[in-house]
Structure 1
Amino acid sequence: MYLDLMERSLTGAAHGMEETGERGRNGRVAKLVSEGYKPISQTMLGRKRLRNVRWCTERVLKDGVPGDLIETGVWRGGATIMMRAVLKAYEDRTRQVFVADSFEGLPPPDADRYPADAGDRHHLIDELAVSLEEVRANFERYGLLDDRVRFLKGWFADTLPEAPIDSLSVARLDGDMYGSTWDALVNLYPKLSVGGYLIVDDYGAVKGGRQAVEDYREEHAITEQIETIDWTGVY
């Protein structure tokens, strides 16, 4: 019941303003920009992708898969709040939830290093920049802000190589670009425990993000099945 209520609240459904996630991120952002719309929800995932976060987190707890949890690219923090809520519901007192974001929006594309990002305009969308203070306040709103929530502020290329993470059971990537996705894969996938889950939010929505996943899988001969969550999310 607690986690069901969290799901409804985080998506705005409990307030009659659910973000379904079916329009796609670009459509949702366009609505935010054109109409000045400020949803109550703390996530743009919609019910299916948020439910996947919950399922993966519950699964690693039930299966005893070791490791902390992380999301790279958190917007208002909804997915990581759900991760922390699952740990609370299962009375897990050992794992940490890492909340990785610049908290200043997305970086300009580095087309020399990542040609797939040439022309990317995500860095121009102010609505994607949510401050660290706002995300912390969202955790606090649900009574989930404690010393087991760790914030990694900065570009992934700078923060992830030095992140104090030994192992991961769930890693959720939401970088919206080839470079951001690649940096997360390079630094986090080697720490993913056997039996753990890698989730990619924008595999279907962002060509560059999908290409980063495919390039990394090919380079490291990764053959695990990619499972579909909805029109864009996979794990």
Structure 2
Amino acid sequence: MTPPETRTDFTRALYLDLLRRTLTGAVAEDNDSILGGARDGGAPSRRKAVAHGIGRVANRFGFELAYKKPYDPESRANGRDWPARADSMIGLKRMENIQHCVETVVREEVPGDLIETGVWRGGATIFMRGILKSYDDTSRTVWVADSFQGLPPPDPARFPADAGDKLHTMRGLAVGVDQVKHNFERYGLLDDQVKFLVGWFKDTLASAPIEKLAVMRLDGDMYESTVQAIEPLYPKLQHGGFCIVDDYGSHASQAGRAVDEYRAMHGITDEIVDIDGFGAYWRKSA
């Protein structure tokens, strides 16, 4: 007979693997390009802008216009594509990193909540809640922090690293809080252990009622969004906790620079570990 704890571990592993692959669109091999969808909103290309407009008109009449694109498992693993319908675009390797970090703090009883700053459709935070539920951990809150209206226009006078940034024009990055809550509900994971911080990071994070953090995941892309998240949150990260930066490598001159400067200013020497060339993380030492 298989011991009950072994069966529990096996069932948990199956659930989390399926949840991870569903959230990233890997199960559905989701790689359609939908006219009027997230990929085209705010695109600088005139051709894409026209296609987006046509798609939006079709949507009003209950139609969806899409064309099929080949699915590339390697791109999805590394988060190099942008799934049309999935709830996360970070790819499987960065999802596996979230699982490693959350499972570690649960098993080693590192105290504190979990947070992601910059959530898009909520996929990473949905996964965090799913991991906690699979371990029957009722002591932690998952904080879902976002403007829920996309990224801010750059402020080069205060943050020169963001000069010329165009992310605020990409309307596909703006997902409303009601939609994100609905996404949690679809997975049966919206409950009292999920809390939303709605607004710009400069207005919400410093005053958020968070006492301790075990895992903090920053996904702000820009220098401004990253520094305004790490400054109020990192002092709350407990020894043995994890700091994950989704775009440390992909936005090295912005998010990466903000992190490097913060670490240098505060004498943080814990090793930064690459995840997939885009994301990176480190564990806070004593």
Q: Same fold (TM over 0.5)?
A: yes
SS of alignment partner, residue 65 of structure 1: coil
2:173 maps to 1:128: yes
Of 107, 110, 131, the match for 2:152: 107
Structure 2: gaps spanning 5 or more residues: 1-13, 33-37, 53-65, 67-82, 282-286
Conserved 8 A contact 1:18-1:41 = no
Q: Decide whether the 8 Å contact of 2:111 with 2:238 is kept in 1.
A: yes
Runs of 4+ aligned structure 1 residues displaced above 3 Å come to 28-38
Q: Relative to structure 2, which stretch is displaced further, 6-15 or 222-231? A: 6-15
Instruction: Answer yes or no: is the 8 Å Cα contact 2:115–2:216 preserved in 1.
Output: yes
Q: Is the 8 A contact 1:65 1:195 kept in 2?
A: yes
2:275 aligns with 229
Pair 1:215-2:228 in alignment = no
Question: Aligned equivalents of 1:92 and 1:18: distance in 2?
Answer: 34
Question: Does the residue aligned with 2:115 lie in a helix, a strand or coil?
Answer: strand
Instruction: For residue 32 of structure 1, report the CA deviation from its aligned partner.
Output: 9.4
> Helix, strand or coil: the match of 1:171?
strand
Shift of 1:113: 1.1
> Residue 30 and residue 204 in structure 1: after superposition, are their counterparts in 2 closer, same or farther (change >3 A)?
farther
The alignment yields a C-alpha RMSD, in angstroms, of 1.8
Q: Distance in 2 between matches of 1:7 and 1:201?
A: 16
Which stretch of structure 1 is more off in the superposition, 107-116 or 75-84? 107-116
State the aligned residue count.
Answer: 227
TM-score (norm 1): 0.92
Question: Could you tell me the percent identity over the aligned residues?
Answer: 55
* Paired amino acid for 1:122: L
Q: Say whether 1:170 aligns with 2:215.
A: yes
Larger Rg: 2
Structure 1: give runs of 5+ residues left out of the alignment.
20-27
1:60 maps to 2:105: yes
Q: For residue 16 of structure 1, report the CA deviation from its aligned partner.
A: 2.3
3-state SS in 2 of match to 1:15:
coil
Say if 2:27 is the partner of 1:14.
Answer: yes
1:1-80 map, 5 Å: 1-17=14-30, 29=39, 33=43, 34=48, 39-80=84-125
- Report the Cα offset of residue 40 of structure 1: 2.1
Q: In the TM superposition, what is the alpha-carbon distance from 1:67 to its structure 2 partner?
A: 0.2
- 1:65-214 → structure 2 map (5 Å cutoff): 65-206=110-251, 207-214=253-260
**1:45: how far off?**
0.4
Q: Which is bigger in relative contact order (C-alpha 8 A, separation at least 6)?
A: 1
Question: Which secondary structure state, in structure 2, belongs to the residue aligned with residue 143 of structure 1?
Answer: coil
Post-superposition shift, 1:30?
A: 6.5
